[in-house]
Amino acid sequence: MEMQWDVILEFSDGHSEEATLSRPFKPEENLVSVLLAKSGETKFLHLDTLCCILMIPKDFPLPGKEHSHELVITVAGKRHQVAIPEDQHIKTGFYGISNEADNPYKLVFFPARGVKSREKLTPLGAILEEKDLVTSYEIEKVMEEQKQLREKRLGTIISEEHGLPQKTIESAIDAAYREGRISAQMRVGDILIESGLVTKEQVESAVVGQEKGRNKRIGVLLVEKGLITEKQLLMALAVKFHLPFIDLDTITPTQEALNSLPIDIVHRLKVLPIENDGKRVVIATSEPTDLTLYDTLRFYFQSKQYVDLVLAVPKQISAAILKYYTKNEYMVADIISGMAENVVYEDSEIKETDAVSESDSQVVSLVNQILIDGFGKGASDIHFEPGGRDQPVQVRYRVDGRCRIVHTIPRTFKNAVISRIKIMSNLDISERRKPQSGKIIIWHKNKQIEYRVEITPTVGKNEDAVLRILTSSEPLPLEEMGFSQPNLQSMKGILSQPYGIILCVGPTGSGKTTTLHATLKYLNTPEVKIWTVEDPVEITQRGLRQVQVLPKIGVTFHEVLRSFLRADPDIIMIGEMRDTETAKTAIEASLTGHLVLSTLHTNSAPETVVRLIDMGIDPFNFADAFLGVLAQRLARRICNNCRTPYHPDRKEYDRLVQVYGEAFFTKHINMPYSPDFLLMKGVGCEACNGTGYKGRIAIHELLISTEGLKTMIRRKAGVDELKTLGIAQGMRTLLMDGIQKVIQGSTDLKEVLQICRYEKRDEGSNG
Ligand SMILES: [Zn+2]
């Protein structure tokens, strides 16, 4: 199914697209004829509109040996390090060969008008030599060492690391051959494990070491040998790559710059934004040789801004990140450490209540800082949980679906903190026995943050406060929702229907609203009228007419829906079908020429169909209206920063196959157990708080309407029958989709089993 795109086109306006050549590229024609991957259009593009064309050199003649190494900067600001063959004689531009090791798009054509500048790259060694930092003899020695490192064999690394003589290793391999214990595809590592000389972990670490050795650059080797300092290396690299070198101790980044890159990106890329005037953003890095860095940053700024790199010493960058980015966290900790339990009391019950008032400046700034800190850390909820008599107040954040304790506030402040929250959300501070709800709105860095507050009395005369954070977020494109390729195609297929009903189902917190908004974004054009009724409106989109339900004054889902039907809609989104009445009206609306999207709290796609019929929906009406049901869950994503491949043992592989269903696994996936079978795991790092997970990925189960399915709905078929037919016509169950994402390395089996609430006896009962 995977399509292979031949070329990447980089346009002068900064955006890029994947495409296939629809006929061979001849630069002298001054145009390129392509089939664009995204839109499926065939186009003739004039070379003047392009900065460069990246190609996989297979059918192209690779230019000859005589070439110069140059840094080419395109008019869109992108930097390419390429070897440029001499004697090209093409009027419209020139070819270069990329220096990037793992990039398949090695051949680059630069149209003449797309190039801003070309500079010859001086080898690093020559620059260092010119600066009198090293001698040519030293450089030769290091280059020899680099060559050896690149060729180092796994056996040698293991012998060095674990003190095993080379001889022992060789004789182990010999013995294995003689005894016929070796198959053709076995690797040295496997043989050594088999012989009991080393463990699997030791081999894995040696493989990592081998990779590192292969990629070790001359500069790094020189620093390791103590021949030059890190700063001297960076200054030389600055000369080589024509980048400015700055001293972060004398420069303060602007607030606009700091706001333009979030903390997680800054940590992951180890960069610091310095300036941002809306058009250009200046970013400091200490890794100019990392060619993916520029692309990642360009992608993040969506080509709306030019990215200028400057170089700085790594120590200064990490110190600056700590200084400018973790301010809120420090402030909360500072305030709390200033809140020592300095109150002397005989009777704790009485004194505690009066110890501190809610207007105390420490309490005010503490609550403010926690609200902002929670938002900054990406929490969906903040929990304030007062403990028993002698216990402090725990503050927990829920991030990516899991809670963790973040702050501990001295118990003397518990009443003051809860009272402060009540005041901020306009609640009655004297009422301490009944639950209350309200909201707080805070403006932070030009962004409105809304907190839905729920105060719940708990034992020990306490009150808990739970704050749900609602941010006015932007809808995501359908392509970024984590759909498998077949599911994405099917979704687009049913969304192009003029009328009918599409349902997105799953428990609370499974990302249904986010998915519905992504589908609306896909449908949202000036030609169609889209009405939505939601509770609450969390995502806003220009072009949609969005209504918030207010049950207290009779603005319910059902009332609003009936009003929509008189207001000339094309597409209607109902945040949730909470009752039969709403569901019936929704089906009627979809049968009278409207596309209706909604959600339901059911577990699986087939179960949804059965549930609706059980609710009293007419099976004939529903069969006519039904376009598809998408069941969804969110699994924690393995942290991108620390994800590491590993080879699972046979038991783990068998479990994976068994959960998928053995027969289906062979039919759909067919990956036998072999030494090359790798999965991913997060080893834990700073970016993910040591958990190994960061962010989430959606798992889907998409049941599409067909004639066969409609017949089954009309005769009220059970869940099992619907599921069997669904799989036969291409549906993948949540578990199947989850396991495909495990094999792709996005998440792990434990997560998938947990979010699908998998139990062995779960194999059907309803019917
Ligand atoms: Zn991590």
Q: How close is the Cα of 694 to the center of ligand 1, in Å?
A: 7
> Which comes out higher in pLDDT, residue 662 or 28?
662
Q: How close is the Cα of 685 to the center of ligand 1, in Å?
A: 4
Strands, E, within 174-279: which ranges? 272-276
As a whole number, the mean pLDDT across the chain is: 83
- Please say if the pLDDT value at position 347 is more than 60: no
Q: What is the Cα–Cα distance from 635 to 484, expressed in whole angstroms?
A: 15
Give the residue from 262, 563, 145, 396 showing the smallest Cα distance to 545: 563
Q: How close is the Cα of 638 to the center of ligand 1, in Å?
A: 8
> Longest Cα pair distance anywhere in the chain, in angstroms?
94
- Please say if the pLDDT value at position 148 is more than 80: no
Kind plus residue range of the DSSP H or E element containing 654: helix 650-660
3-state secondary structure at position 582:
helix
**Strand pairing of 42-46 and 381-386?**
unpaired
DSSP assignment letter at 733:
-
- The answer to whether the beta carbons of residues 640 and 681 sit under 8 Å apart is no
Q: How close is the Cα of 644 to the center of ligand 1, in Å?
A: 10
Q: Considering the chain, what percentage of its residues have pLDDT values greater than 70?
A: 85
Q: What is the Cα–Cα distance from 330 to 339, expressed in whole angstroms?
A: 14
Four-way CATH pick for 243-325: 3.40.630.30, 1.10.10.10, 3.40.50.1370, 3.30.300.160: 3.30.300.160
> Which comes out higher in pLDDT, residue 443 or 64?
443
User: Radius of gyration over alpha carbons of the chain, in Å?
Assistant: 31
Q: How close is the Cα of 266 to the center of ligand 1, in Å?
A: 14
Contacts of 262 by beta carbon, 8 Å cutoff, 6+ apart: none
pLDDT score for 710? 96
Q: How close is the Cα of 684 to the center of ligand 1, in Å?
A: 4
Q: At 529, is the pLDDT very low, low, confident or very high (cuts 50, 70, 90)? A: very high
- Please say if the pLDDT value at position 97 is more than 70: yes
What Cα–Cα distance (Å) separates residue 438 from each residue in 132, 430, 557?
69, 15, 21
Contacts of 767 by beta carbon, 8 Å cutoff, 6+ apart: 718, 719, 720, 721
Angle, helix 327-338 to helix 361-376, in steps of 10 degrees:
150
Q: What is the Cα–Cα distance from 570 to 567, expressed in whole angstroms?
A: 10
Contacts of 142 by beta carbon, 8 Å cutoff, 6+ apart: 218, 221, 222, 225, 227
Q: Which residues lie near ion ligand 1 (Cβ < 5 Å)?
A: 639, 641-642, 685, 687-688
Q: How close is the Cα of 192 to the center of ligand 1, in Å?
A: 30
DSSP 274-285: EEE-SSEEEEEE
Q: How close is the Cα of 652 to the center of ligand 1, in Å?
A: 22
Torsion angle defined by CA atoms of residues 221, 223, 224 and 225, in that order, rounded to the nearest 10 degrees: 90
Least confident of 170-179, 183-192, 331-340, 500-509: 183-192
Q: How close is the Cα of 750 to the center of ligand 1, in Å?
A: 17
Q: How close is the Cα of 89 to the center of ligand 1, in Å?
A: 50
Q: How close is the Cα of 273 to the center of ligand 1, in Å?
A: 22
Q: What is the Cα–Cα distance from 745 to 743, expressed in whole angstroms?
A: 5
Q: Both tokens of residue 613?
A: 């019929």
Q: What is the Cα–Cα distance from 248 to 274, expressed in whole angstroms?
A: 9
pLDDT score for 503? 97
Q: How close is the Cα of 681 to the center of ligand 1, in Å?
A: 10
pLDDT score for 458? 92
Four-way CATH pick for 478-762: 3.30.565.10, 3.40.50.620, 3.40.50.300, 3.50.50.60: 3.40.50.300
pLDDT score for 344? 41
What Cα–Cα distance (Å) separates residue 114 from each residue in 21, 48, 434?
20, 7, 68
Q: At 78, is the pLDDT very low, low, confident or very high (cuts 50, 70, 90)? A: confident
> Which comes out higher in pLDDT, residue 736 or 83?
736
pLDDT score for 3? 47
Give the residue from 331, 284, 279 showing the smallest Cα distance to 301: 279
State pLDDT tens for residues 602-660. Answer: 999 999 999 999 999 999 999 999 999 999 999 999 998 888 889 999 999 999 999 99
Q: Domain segments of the chain: what residues?
A: 7-120, 126-224, 243-325, 327-471, 478-762
DSSP assignment letter at 738:
H
What Cα–Cα distance (Å) separates residue 302 from each residue in 13, 39, 299, 306, 552?
11, 19, 5, 10, 43
Mean pLDDT value of segment 668-674: 90
Mean pLDDT value of segment 45-51: 90
pTM of the model: 0.54
Q: At 531, is the pLDDT very low, low, confident or very high (cuts 50, 70, 90)? A: very high
State pLDDT tens for residues 404-452. Answer: 888 889 888 888 999 999 999 999 989 999 999 999 988 777 677 889 9
Q: How close is the Cα of 506 to the center of ligand 1, in Å?
A: 28
Q: What backbone torsions phi and psi does residue 596 show, to the nearest 5 degrees?
A: -115, 130
Q: How close is the Cα of 437 to the center of ligand 1, in Å?
A: 36
Count of beta carbons in the 10 Å neighbourhood of residue 430: 6
- The answer to whether the beta carbons of residues 272 and 248 sit under 8 Å apart is yes
Count of beta carbons in the 10 Å neighbourhood of residue 181: 12
Q: Which residue(s) pair with 463 in the sheet?
A: 457
In three-state form (DSSP H/G/I as H, E/B as E, the rest C), the secondary structure along 74-133 is: ECCCCEEEEEEECCCCCCCEEEEEECCCCCCCCEEEEEHHHEEEEEECCCHHHHHHHCCC
DSSP assignment letter at 553:
G
What Cα–Cα distance (Å) separates residue 279 from each residue in 257, 274, 276, 307, 587?
11, 13, 7, 9, 49
Q: At 765, is the pLDDT very low, low, confident or very high (cuts 50, 70, 90)? A: very low
Q: At 760, is the pLDDT very low, low, confident or very high (cuts 50, 70, 90)? A: very low
Q: How close is the Cα of 275 to the center of ligand 1, in Å?
A: 28
State pLDDT tens for residues 306-323. Answer: 888 899 988 888 888 877
DSSP 413-480: GHHHHHHHHHHHTT--SS--SS-EEEEEEEEETTEEEEEEEEEEEETTTEEEEEEEEEE-BPPPPGGG
Cis peptide before 244 (omega within 30 of 0): no
Q: How close is the Cα of 299 to the center of ligand 1, in Å?
A: 21
- Please say if the pLDDT value at position 350 is more than 50: no
Q: Both tokens of residue 138?
A: 């030293």
Q: At 364, is the pLDDT very low, low, confident or very high (cuts 50, 70, 90)? A: confident
Q: How close is the Cα of 640 to the center of ligand 1, in Å?
A: 6
Place of tokens 């495409």: 19
State pLDDT tens for residues 106-137. Answer: 889 999 888 888 888 777 777 777 777 777 77
- The answer to whether the beta carbons of residues 334 and 307 sit under 8 Å apart is no
State pLDDT tens for residues 224-280. Answer: 777 778 888 888 888 877 888 888 888 888 877 887 887 767 877 889 999 988 888
State pLDDT tens for residues 718-746. Answer: 999 999 999 999 999 999 999 999 999 99
Q: How close is the Cα of 270 to the center of ligand 1, in Å?
A: 14
Q: What is the Cα–Cα distance from 187 to 203, expressed in whole angstroms?
A: 11
pLDDT score for 746? 93
Q: How close is the Cα of 747 to the center of ligand 1, in Å?
A: 13
Q: How close is the Cα of 349 to the center of ligand 1, in Å?
A: 44
pLDDT score for 636? 93
- Please say if the pLDDT value at position 388 is more than 50: yes
Q: Is 755 exposed, middle or buried (0-12, 13-18, 19+ CB in 10 A)?
A: buried
Q: How close is the Cα of 60 to the center of ligand 1, in Å?
A: 41
Q: How close is the Cα of 188 to the center of ligand 1, in Å?
A: 30
Task: Tell me which CATH code domain 327-471 carries.
Answer: 3.30.450.90
Mean pLDDT value of segment 745-759: 86
Mean pLDDT value of segment 503-511: 92
Mean pLDDT value of segment 682-700: 88
Q: How close is the Cα of 743 to the center of ligand 1, in Å?
A: 19
Q: How close is the Cα of 530 to the center of ligand 1, in Å?
A: 41
Q: How close is the Cα of 202 to the center of ligand 1, in Å?
A: 21
Q: How close is the Cα of 268 to the center of ligand 1, in Å?
A: 9
Q: How close is the Cα of 263 to the center of ligand 1, in Å?
A: 14
Domains 327-471 and 478-762 are alike in CATH topology: no
